[in-house]
Structure 1
Amino acid sequence: MVLEFKNAEIFYTDQGKGTAIVLIHGFLENTTMWQNIVPELSKRNRVITIDLLGHGKSDCLGYMHSTELFSETIEAVLKHLRIRKSILIGHSLGGYVALAFAEKNPNKVKGLCLMNSTTEEDDDERKTLRLRANKMIQDNFTNMIRMSFANLFGEKSRTVFKDEMKLALNEALQTPIQGYIAGQEGMRIRPNRNHVLVNNDFKKLIIIGKKDPVLDFETSLKEAENTDSEVVVFPDGHMSHIENKDELTNVLKEFVKKL
């Protein structure tokens, strides 16, 4: 289904009945990343997936997709569907977007899950890397995507989940260059949103990959402790929906069941 937002088309899906769950994909991903999880969650819940601006079947809006702008698209879809309160589950960039939504609309959140994500802002090194990537991507799109994508997985996973990686990579390669640049810019300037978890009493869950090459394991554990969030640790990398598919599905079902 498609919703118009500021003259841009936003693609979303809506399945099942019950408690509303919003699944928010990560950078260079789209709604297809949830294809194994939606059938399970939608048995007892209403599950909404949304293609963020510049990803999947959704349009771009300029060259800066801030987390606030991304969250406005979530808000627009939920308003269109007349959903007042929901559980937000965000992978990586999707977690940043969920936090931006919760900061503005805490009363509309029943629970929030950061999946391989963080409340922290980028450090200076990461900000520099994003700027450099945005310059390089214009001449080396395919190679850049392939390289950065492979680095999201644990070393063992690259062999074990070779076929799944290939499918996910093909989806990533469909991302327009404008969407890539706008997304990187938005992540680069995002603020620290630790306070969103600290100051709200909705249910919180942080899912961590022990070998996540993007997020430091010990730092993530400390973050969960400091924000009074439930924590689940998987043994692999940044892509829990591929590397720990069955375990992740069970964890999310249990998290939703408690709300």
Structure 2
Amino acid sequence: MISKLKIRGINLVYEDMGTGDVIVFIHGQPFNRSMWNYQSQVFSKTNRLIVPDLRGYGESITTESIVLLDELALDIIYLLNELNISKAVFVGLSMGGQVALEIYRLAPHLVKGLVLADTDARAEDATSYLNRKALAKRLLTDGMESYTTQNIGHYLCKNTFDTKQEVVDHLNTMMINTDAAGAAAVQLGRAERRDHSGILSNIDFPTLIIVGDQDVFTPVSTAEYMQTRISKAALAIIKDAGHMPNMEQPEQFNQLLKNYLDKL
């Protein structure tokens, strides 16, 4: 069921489906909640799923000029409070993984489990900080269609482009239809994000780290960096996948998630 709640000054749009233990799926950038369709159709049969459009993405419109990752995390914390949810497993991909770590930092009592997919716990370095700010400016001046044309090739591996046109089309549609102003505001916020390396050692529950074997944004070495710092972390590398393994290889991704949930 698609729902809307006034959360911290905006109408936050989210899907609430299924019953049972709660899983919160947090999308990356520049995407929306539909990137999790490949999971929701499976896990809604066994769990209650909360799948929001983050502030500035999809149907959750914002007019702020900068949106910090803290704000995205607080939106979800407030949403779960409104829904009387006291414990959940958080599944975040890319920026969504960074938001999940922010939720853990701000409200560790909410976190029953963590699945960190194709993400990085570290802050920007000096170069990537400037690149992130320049990208925000480009999104505003050139628009999402230009960004998508130039960059969609980085998100998926060659096998996906060659054999899964429906996935390519879905990703293309999500990216083009993202609000440029919303994406730019969050890019500026991501430039300022915290380094979460220090809190990784505090995570004392089983954690699953997933990465596509051909991810160019957050490669396997980045996933290994997090795994070595989380005492109960398992690392799974998905073959024939880039930055979006949940879309590119949903069967593998879903089996890994199911196995993780069964162990929890």
- TM-score bracket relative to the smaller structure: over 0.9
Cα distance between partner residues in 2 of 1:116 and 1:216: 7
- Which stretch of the first structure deviates more once superposed, 19-28 or 132-141? 132-141
Q: State the number of aligned residues.
A: 259
Q: Does 1:230 align with 2:234?
A: yes
Counterpart in the other structure of 1:104 = 106
Q: Helix, strand or coil: the match of 1:63? A: coil
Q: Does 1:67 align with 2:58?
A: no
Q: Helix, strand or coil: the match of 1:37? A: helix
The alignment-based identity, stated in percent, is 26
Cα distance between partner residues in 1 of 2:72 and 2:130: 22
Q: Deviations over 1:137-161 (max 9, x none)?
A: 2232111122222211123322222
Superposed displacement of residue 58, structure 1? 0.3
Q: How does 1:191-230 map to 2 (within 5 A)?
A: 191-228=194-231, 229-230=233-234
Change in 2 beyond 3 A, CA 1:109/1:190: same
Cα distance between partner residues in 2 of 1:200 and 1:249: 23
Q: How does 1:1-259 map to 2 (within 5 A)?
A: 1-141=3-143, 142-228=145-231, 229-235=233-239, 236-259=241-264
Change in 2 beyond 3 A, CA 1:28/1:44: same
User: Does the Cα contact within 8 Å between 2:207 and 2:234 map onto a contact in 1?
Assistant: yes
In structure 2, give the amino acid aligned to 1:210.
D
Cα distance between partner residues in 1 of 2:215 and 2:13: 29
Q: Deviations over 1:24-66 (max 9, x none)?
A: 0001111111112112112121111000001011011411111
Cα distance between partner residues in 2 of 1:256 and 1:131: 37
Q: Helix, strand or coil: the match of 2:140? A: coil
Give the RMSD, CA atoms, in angstroms: 1.4
Cα distance between partner residues in 2 of 1:258 and 1:125: 40
Cα distance between partner residues in 2 of 1:147 and 1:163: 19
Unaligned runs of 5+ in 2: none
Dislocated runs of 4+, deviation >4 Å? none
Superposed displacement of residue 255, structure 1? 1.2
In structure 2, give the amino acid aligned to 1:256.
L
User: Does the Cα contact within 8 Å between 1:109 and 1:202 map onto a contact in 2?
Assistant: no
